[in-house]
Structures are given as C-alpha cells and as structure tokens.
Amino acid sequence: MTKKQANMKSCLQPMPKVLVSCRGLNGENNVLAVGYCGNCSYAPPMVMVGIVPTRYSYQMIKESGCFVVNLVDKSYQKTFDYLGSHSKRDGDKLSAMNVRLQDGKKVNAPILPDCPVNIECKVVDSIVTGSHEMFIGRIEYVHADAKLTDIEGNIDFSQIKFL
C-alpha cells in the first residue's frame, strides 16, 4: 500500500460533532460548534474542549468555569451548521434558529434538550496548546435520551446518527 503525507491539522477524524453551550456571568447564553473535543480521564470522568481565545464564548467559559458538551445527531444538522458559521457577536443566532435551552442540573450553563446527550462539566484546568485553549472539564452530570440508555444508565451510542 502506498502512503503519502496527509494534512496534520485534523488527522484524528472522524470525531463526533459537538456543540458547547455556556452562560456568562451576566446570564447571557451562547452555543458554539467545537472541533476539538474528547475524553481525557475516566477516574474522575473528564472531557476536554478546545476553544480559540477569539471566540465569543471563550471569555464566558473562562469566567463561569463551566460548560456543557452537547452531542449532535443528523436531525440537528441545519442548526449545527448555522451555529458553527455565525457568531453571537454579530446577532442573536440562538433566536434565529429557535434553539431550545434548559438549565443544567449541576452547572450554571444551559443544555440543548434537542441533542441526544448533554454532558455538564466544571472546568478544573486548562492548557494553551497553540491556536486553542483546552478546557478540561470534570463531568458533573450526563443527560441522555431515555431510549438510548439501559437500566444501568449506559448509553448505546450506536443508536445515535452522528453528523
């Protein structure tokens, strides 16, 4: 098999597309598409999200110390695309797409109830890795559509039609 050099920028694709929701100290909500997201510990359970410091949500997460990772399925494609290509700096993109929000149970950030899984996180550390700051969030609560979970709360990810 012949090999050639590939693009280093996104060599660990595919990854699930996620929307990160947050709330500023002034109560303002926002949602942004995040390309860098993954597990980073199972004891305690933690995930990390990478956010460019120029993004509108960056300061909200920095100040509030929390965020929610919302896993997105194909039914939310249009909303994902819009939220990922528009900044709240330029207008109310959440209203424009009729994005439904609910308060988190453990952190002061909203969840997107129209997404199949919502992972509430408290920031415990961060590291600047170049273009992004990786926020490490300890998982405080996981919401999952009831049809996706077994009796012990395990999520059957094979049932989600990821983007």
d(CA 72, CA 74): 7
Determine the CATH number of domain 18-159.
2.30.110.10
User: What is the per-residue pLDDT for 10?
Assistant: 63
d(CA 63, CA 162): 31
pLDDT in tens, the chain (163 residues): 888 777 777 666 657 789 999 999 999 999 999 989 999 999 999 999 999 999 999 999 999 999 999 999 999 999 999 999 999 999 999 999 999 999 999 999 999 999 999 999 999 999 999 999 999 999 999 999 999 999 999 999 999 999 8
d(CA 129, CA 48): 12
pTM of structure: 0.93
